Amino acid sequence: MELCVEIISDILEVLHNQRVGTTCEDISVITLSIFRTVIQTFIKKDKGDPLEAGIVSVMISIFRQMEACHYTEYIDSFTAKSDLFDFVIEILMVFSDLVAREVFPRDWNEMIMLQNSIILKAIRHISHTIRDKFSNPFEYQVWNNFFHGAIKFLTQKALQLENFTENKRKKIISRYKDMRRETGFEIRAMWFNLGQNKIRFVPGMIGPFLEMTLIPERDLRRATIPIFFDMMQCEFYSPKYYIPGYDNHRTNTVYGSIRGNFNEFEHEMITQLDALIEGGRGDEEYKNLFYEIMSQHCESHATMKEQGMRFVTVVTHLMEYLLEYRSIVQEENKENRMSCTVNLLEFYNEINRKEMYIRYLNKLCDLHLECQNYTEAAFALQLHTKLLKWSNDPLPQLLRNEKYPKCETHRSLKVQLYDDIINYFDKGKMWEASLSLCKELIHLHDSETYDYNALAELLQKQANVYDNIMKQMRPEPEYFRVGFYGKGFPAFVQNKVFVYRGKEYERLDEFSGRMQNVFPKAQLMTKLTPPGDEIMKSTNQYLQINKVDPLMELKPEFANRTIHHQILKYYKVNEVQRFSFSRPFRKKESDSENEFANLWVERTVLTTHQPFPGILRWFPVKLSDTFEITPLENAVETMELTNAKLKEANVAHKMDAHLSVNHLGMLLNGVVDAAVMGGIANYEKAFFSEDFAAANTSEKDQANLQKLKNLIAEQIPLLEVGIRIHKLKVHETLKPFHDRLEECFSRMKSAVETKYGIKSPEPEVISIPSVRRIQTLPAESSHSTKSLPDLKNVGIEPKQKQVNLRNATPNGTKNSTANRVQSVFVKPLAANASKTLKKSRETLTLRRTSTSSTTASQESVATTHQTVWYDGKPDPGQPIIELKEQLISQRPRRSECEKRLSRPMSGVFRSSTPPTTPGGASSQSLNSLDEDIPPPLPQKQNVVEASNSSPEIAAAASAAVISTLPRRTSSNTNALTRAKSKPLPPLPVKDKTPPAVPKKPNRLQSDNKPAN
């Protein structure tokens, strides 16, 4: 075969020589004899075959020397139409393979361009053959192959002149012209020769035609874009039920049942646009040209004008969003990618393209997961679940999710999505948002699927959610307003204002730095005044950043109820859509010495497009309202805010006894001892003067004056409750600080009540629904830290029953043993409890006889007997107090006496006879004490609780312990008595002479002394 290729190549080279003369008949002989054989040989050869390039060279050389007469002669040589059909299919297939295979190296530019010019010449001749031979009857495969082959030739990389240098581009155009333009004209001519068969290529050919029109060649675009309008007309006037092979045009005329829309065309057009523009095709010029040409055609068509213009507008907006998305998709800034992704998914949602909507939802979710924005990722997936139902209906292809290929029904996919969403909310610490999902799944498994295993897991998960809400600490995010001014920003943020949700612990300085890193060329504006046209129309970038406060919108079910502060903390910074910020200013016409009398505020309230948190950490502002607040109104607002903070702090401490008192102390100090701002005295000077009252005589001003006086009076009972709570919980080291608070409050209370009267606090401040908090040993002890007080009864007493705050106790009465709460399962003290305790102390003695060691041992005994012994059945007549803390399984500490009695003798004094105590008790008698086994030891209480117990309760516990021990034998008692009878050392003399050392007993003699 190699030899044949060389021979044919030599023949064709000779025939190409102009000195040979006319070669028309020679070329005819070659085409009729070996032309199709060469074509079929190339088709059968595999890619990369050594003879491939030679065969292609022979075939290209034959095509190059063929004229129109040779094409006509060769076509007429086919006697059977089926043979001609096969030949046309083969030659179109060869053209497609030549473009796809790249037989010659890429740097063989001259050879490649020569090949393309020869193929273009052949395409023109073949197109005439198709129009003449395969139009009637119509051969769909031939026409379809022609369109695909020609478009593949047109879009090949070797013909994209914009990728070449300017000199190379000019050289190619001067020799071969722009072959894309010529091929496009040929395709356009073939399309308009289809006649009634155009509908058979709608919507199948929309993608290839769109790819052709996206080529950046203006003449080509102008020539081929009108094909889309023709496709719209074909579908619009086509019958509702198209049946190939029948005269549908006649049926349409008789019955008049046309479709009247081009939904399939629109659907395919949007799908192909998304894929092609995201892949790098198209530009701003194409978008504008498409709108111009299609608008002209639609406006000139009376029937399709309305639907056509809507379609053109939709496609133009889509191209705008896709071009924005493509421009930033390669950037490192993922926030911009998220913004463009949201624009696209919202667009697809508006036009009801569910499959595209879900596609971009998944892209958005993946972006959030890369940035560890778990809350936003959960909200993105939640949008997908809204398209699903709680049914076992088969899942259509439009609603499928590539991440869950095994889900075949609506219910299975929705349950899987719910599980992932709940996990993401848990990672983002947004437990409140997952509660509704848990409840839905619980209802599903409890009432429909009866999957109790899944139900048990869900209930445990829901319990953990509630527990996390009440116990876990969460940082409260801050919100920031960001204005992007100037035309230097991307189009999707240009001259727009957004509200951003900050990251955990992110403050204004850190956020401003992050935004400047994203836009390094932007200038940071230092004032909150609205920018002028000079800045808005500038080509530079200007950032205006300031903190905004969320405006909490309380749920209706919380109205008129006392809600735990841990629950309300969530709604202060979450599920919010309105934000405000203030800009103080002063009016020149006012010349008051007091700054509060001239302190005006410009308040701006912003409403975002969606509430926070959501599918993004920022949303554009859709509504902005700015208004002025007078100095008097500002004072009223400030007092209302201060009273609200005091009330909230008091309620929080009443409902949570473990809450730290530091914040409350700072809040109280800022009100009662306002050394910097001057406190309410400034308001009195500014607004309660006769001059101010005379100058502000309107009903509104008078009402605000009275309201301000009432707020000042209402602040006193709130402060009083707060100071009571602070006194009960403050640490000993902060007692001077608390005394200072009481001193300042006393003066403030006297002055305010004299001027503005006495006000009573609101009911919820006085009486709060008690949270069950039972403490084991709440009584105070002089040797331990103060136990947590019971705050639910702390309030304002009637005037005649009030006592001095310095001398007040937690319950308003003096401390007494009778008022203390009893310990766990301990019976009340009997009348002879103190006697029993005294007797027990006399019985238990220490080996050492010094006064200091005796005192220490007695304290040790008292501490030891704070451990509670019980007999298993508490007295039913006494109230049982529950434990909140978990008991620790640990042996109680032994008394010093027990430790010393059980300590073995030193090895120096060991002898064959048993040793005796100094009082004469033998070790045998001491060991008999261990034979009296006490009742089983209970689980030890918390060490903190034991240290908080008082001496009275410790004594009661000791009495109860001793009363439960078995009676000792007489020998045991004698042994203890002899141990106690050791003489005490003499007291020191006043002349500072050290006391005489007592005589040391002879242990050897005492060891040999018989026991009594």
Among all chains, which residue has been given the structure tokens 């007549």? 877
Top-ranked range on mean pLDDT: pick from 327-336, 617-626, 672-681, 851-860: 617-626
Among all chains, which residue has been given the structure tokens 């001014």? 485
Position 246 pLDDT exceeds 90? no
Mean pLDDT of 562-571: 86
Q: Check residues 852 and 202 and name the one with the higher pLDDT.
A: 202
Q: Which tokens is 459 given? A: 């209930």
Angle at 300 between CA 296 and CA 304, to 5 degrees: 100
Q: What is the pLDDT of residue 534?
A: 92
- Predicted confidence (pLDDT) per residue in 283-294, tens digit: 999 999 999 999
Q: What is the pLDDT of residue 963?
A: 43
Q: What is the pLDDT of residue 852?
A: 41
Picking from 540, 538, 517, 542, the residue whose alpha carbon sits closest to that of residue 336 is 517
Among all chains, which residue has been given the structure tokens 């809450």? 659
Q: Which tokens is 982 given? A: 């050791």
Confidence of residue 60 (pLDDT cuts 50, 70, 90): very high
Return the number of other C-beta atoms located less than 10 Å from residue 498's C-beta. Answer: 19
- Predicted confidence (pLDDT) per residue in 405-418, tens digit: 889 999 999 999 99
pLDDT above 70 coverage of the chain, percent: 72
DSSP 3-state percent helix, strand, coil across the chain (nearest 5): 55, 5, 35
Q: What is the pLDDT of residue 224?
A: 95
Q: Check residues 210 and 651 and name the one with the higher pLDDT.
A: 210
Return the number of other C-beta atoms located less than 10 Å from residue 645's C-beta. Answer: 16
Q: How many CA atoms lie within 13 A of 325 on its CB side?
A: 28
User: Mean pLDDT lowest for which of 174-188, 565-579, 703-717, 914-928?
Assistant: 914-928
Confidence of residue 403 (pLDDT cuts 50, 70, 90): confident
The alpha-carbon radius of gyration of the chain (Å, integer) is 48
Q: What is the pLDDT of residue 1002?
A: 53
Q: What is the pLDDT of residue 143?
A: 96
Find the length of the chain. 1012
Picking from 528, 521, 511, the residue whose alpha carbon sits closest to that of residue 542 is 521
Cis-peptide into 203, omega within 30 deg: yes
**Residue 114, exposed/middle/buried by CB under 10 A (0-12, 13-18, 19+)?**
middle
Confidence of residue 769 (pLDDT cuts 50, 70, 90): very low
Q: Which helix (H) or strand (E) segment is 543 a member of?
A: strand 542-550
Following DSSP, what letter does each residue of 928-941 receive, concatenated? HHHHSPPSPPPPBP
Q: Which tokens is 798 given? A: 């009637």
Distance CA 469, CA 463 (A): 10
Among all chains, which residue has been given the structure tokens 């302190």? 599
Confidence of residue 16 (pLDDT cuts 50, 70, 90): confident
Mean pLDDT of 894-905: 50
Position 795 pLDDT exceeds 70? no
The 8 Å CB, 24+ separation contacts for 581-584 are 581/481, 581/528, 581/546, 581/547, 581/548, 581/549, 581/606, 582/629, 583/528
Position 995 pLDDT exceeds 70? no
Q: What is the pLDDT of residue 387?
A: 94
Q: What is the pLDDT of residue 398?
A: 87
Characterize the bridge pairing of strands 523-524 and 496-501: unpaired
Angle between helices 452-471 and 565-573 (to 10 degrees): 90
Q: Check residues 549 and 690 and name the one with the higher pLDDT.
A: 549
- Predicted confidence (pLDDT) per residue in 536-554, tens digit: 999 999 999 999 999 998 8
- Predicted confidence (pLDDT) per residue in 169-222, tens digit: 999 999 999 999 999 999 999 999 999 999 999 999 999 999 999 999 999 999
Q: What is the pLDDT of residue 699?
A: 87
Position 424 pLDDT exceeds 90? yes
Contacts of 510 (CB under 8 A, 6+ apart): none
Q: What average pLDDT does the structure give for the chain?
A: 78
Top-ranked range on mean pLDDT: pick from 440-449, 695-704, 728-737, 823-832: 440-449
Q: What is the pLDDT of residue 813?
A: 40
Q: What is the pLDDT of residue 806?
A: 38
Q: What is the pLDDT of residue 20?
A: 72
Q: Residue 409 has what DSSP assignment?
A: B
Q: What is the pLDDT of residue 760?
A: 78
- Classified as helix, coil or strand, 237 is coil
**Residue 279, exposed/middle/buried by CB under 10 A (0-12, 13-18, 19+)?**
exposed
Per-residue CA distances from 946 to 818, 823, 824, 934 (Å): 19, 11, 12, 21
Q: State the greatest distance between any 2 C-alpha atoms of the chain, in Å, as a whole number.
A: 155
Characterize the bridge pairing of strands 523-524 and 542-550: parallel
Q: What is the pLDDT of residue 777?
A: 39
